[in-house]
Each structure stands twice: as C-alpha cells, then as structure tokens.
Amino acid sequence: MKALKRVALTLGILLGVVLLAAAGLFLYLTATEYRPEPEETLALAGPELTPLDKSSFTILSWNIGYCALGEESDFFMDGGREVRPASAELIQKNLDGIQNFLSGQDADFLLLQEVDAGSRRSYDLDELAVLREEQSRASAYALNFSTKFVPYPWPPIGKVRSGLLTSSRYQIRNATRVSLPCPFSWPVSMVNLKRCLLVSRIPVAGTEKELVLVNLHLEAYDDGEGKLAQSKQLRTLLAEEYEKGNYVVAGGDWNQVFPDAEAVWPNTHKALWSPGYLDESELDDGWHYVWDSTVPSCRLLNQPYDPADRKNTQYYVIDGFLVSPNLMVEQVETLDAGFACSDHNPVRLTLHLED
C-alpha cells in the first residue's frame, strides 16, 4: 500500500510539473506574441538610388523556402517527416545556390518570400543579411512569421523569424507592411504566421506616378477562407493605387493555382495538400493574372525531390503576378531551377509602362 501511495505521489508530482510547465509556456508565448499594427512604415536598407528611368523592366519573384527546402528535403506538413534539414551545411548550400542564381538573372526588382533572419529551422543563419550584401540595391523587409517558440511537432520547430524581402536597382521612396487577415484563433495564432503585404513605392522618372510593387505570400494551410479574405484585401489595395494613377504589380507565392495550371499539372495528392484557385472573373476590367504553366513553380514536399518518380511527385503553378491595366506584359517565364535549393522555382516577368 505504501508503495502504491509513493507511485501515486510521484505521478501526481510529475503531472503537476508538466501542467505548470505548459501553463508557463502559454503565458510566455502570450506575453511575447508578435502583434503587428495594421500598417507599419519599414526601414529601408542600401544606397540612395535614382527613380525608374526606363519603360521596360524585369521583376523576379521567388519563394526561397528559408533555404531549408531544397532537393534533399521533405516537410511534415506536406506528408513528409522533416521539421528541418539534417545540417546547417545544407542551409548554406541552398543559400549559396540561390545567391548564384539570382546574380545571373540581372533583374531590376526581386520579390523574395520566406527569408529567415534567425530561426532554429534554418540553424540561425541570417539569410536576410546575406541576401542584402549586394551594395548596389535598395531593399525593404517585412516580418510575417515571428515567434519565440513553436512547440510542435517533435522535435519542435522552435524560434522563427522570417519574412518578405523586396530589393530594387532603383529608388524605393518608401515601403509599408500591410497586415492581412489571420484565419487562426488563439492559441494557434500565437505561434503561426501573421501574413502581410510588403508594399514598395518606386518613383517613375519625369512623372508624378509611382510603380507600386506588392510582395506577397498568402495563406497555405488554412481551410481556404483565409486565402479568400487576404486576396480580397489585396485586390482592394491594388485598385486604390491604380485609381491614383500608379502602375501596380503584385507578385509572389499565392498558394492558389493560376487559371489553366491544374489542367497542365493535375493535383493527384489532394489528401496531402490542396491549394486554392485564382478566378479571373473576380478581377476588374483590364486587370490580369500573369503566370507560366509550361514549368511548375512549386513541388509538394511529401518526399525528397525525385522527378523520375512521377507517381509521388506533385507539381503546382502557384507563383506569379497580378498586373494593372496600364502595364503591358512583354514576357513571363517560370525559370527551371530544378528545385535544387527551394521547393519553388522563380518566376521572371518583363513589363512595359504604358501612358
């Protein structure tokens, strides 16, 4: 009987310790939760540059997967097993590959998503600092994922600090972080992404107009309502800027399939992950989505990349642009980077300013 009492006492103490630790973690996460304002002016980095002084220009958008989702990787949220890669060397390998690829593209503007600035999942490598090293470009950075500790799965994700990076060969007059609706309630919201738009204003030489670039990464693992609400807010913002007479481009990872893309790359793994769908009928006259379905822009992370395994390799086209009526599309191309350094391929767009 005494032995049973001792066992019961020990179990009670252990349960109390676990409950106390859980309560302490919830209090800590609540106290340190990232709570951005609806709009925030962002600090700019880089040199003072000149306004955009040419009629044709190029934009490259790329979700770099925080340099942790290259060809060797899978991911637990997509049916894989990994929480993070096996080594920091893989992060560095991917970052080096991304840098080399970008340097060969000669793009006027870069819209990058999932750029970590000190996260456990990417071994605390400051990818933001490295990608900002090119001194000839101006840039702005907006956090969309900032938490002291993500307690799931096991081993836990831990600390995350990540966001959107826009860089430019021309002057960025100012940049703003615009919060998007969050579809998650407490307590999940404490340790989840706080999505946003990174709005950068590029003055156009000889005019009062601006080129308004909107860098985005919309909701991924929601029930679909989050994507719809975020897309609606985005379209409202873009319309307001166009009404001012500005040129407007939104680009990034929409986590929604572009029109006609699923016919080219059918989703045979909907049980693992199913994106939303972009509907051109929702756009105002003259506005249009711009994408390239000839090459997939994203792969499912259910396993390491194996293009020979067509049964289990799932592709999507969820990266591209939305362009205002006063811009003419000269070319759009999804660049085949072989998913070597990220689970996304970059998309390059060439545009022409119209009067």
pLDDT band at 15 (very low <50, low <70, confident <90, very high): low
For residue range 23-65, list pLDDT tens digits in order.
555 566 667 778 899 999 999 999 999 999 999 999 999 999 9
Q: Are residues 24 and 46 in the same domain?
A: no
For residue range 224-270, list pLDDT tens digits in order.
899 999 999 999 999 999 999 999 999 999 999 999 999 999 999 99
- Tally of structural domains, the chain: 2
> Distance (Å, rounded) from C-alpha 284 to C-alpha 282?
7
pLDDT at 18: 46
Q: Are residues 5 and 113 in the same domain?
A: no
Q: Are residues 1 and 125 in the same domain?
A: no
Domain that holds residue 6: 1-31
For the domain that residue 76 is a member of, what is the CATH number? 3.60.10.10
Q: Which residues pair with 290 in a beta bridge?
A: 321
Q: Are residues 156 and 195 in the same domain?
A: yes
For residue range 167-214, list pLDDT tens digits in order.
999 999 999 999 999 988 777 788 899 999 999 999 999 999 999 999
Q: Are residues 11 and 127 in the same domain?
A: no
For residue range 123-169, list pLDDT tens digits in order.
999 999 999 988 799 999 999 999 998 998 989 999 999 999 999 99
Q: Are residues 119 and 211 in the same domain?
A: yes
Q: Are residues 95 and 9 in the same domain?
A: no
Q: What is the pTM of this model?
A: 0.94
Query: Tokens 């909701």 identify what position?
Result: 219
Q: Are residues 197 and 92 in the same domain?
A: yes
Q: Are residues 24 and 109 in the same domain?
A: no
Q: Are residues 13 and 111 in the same domain?
A: no
Question: Does the pLDDT value for residue 20 go beyond 90?
Answer: no
Q: Are residues 42 and 24 in the same domain?
A: no
Q: Are residues 8 and 51 in the same domain?
A: no
Whole-angstrom CA distances from 13 to 9, 16, 20, 110, 347 are: 6, 5, 10, 55, 56
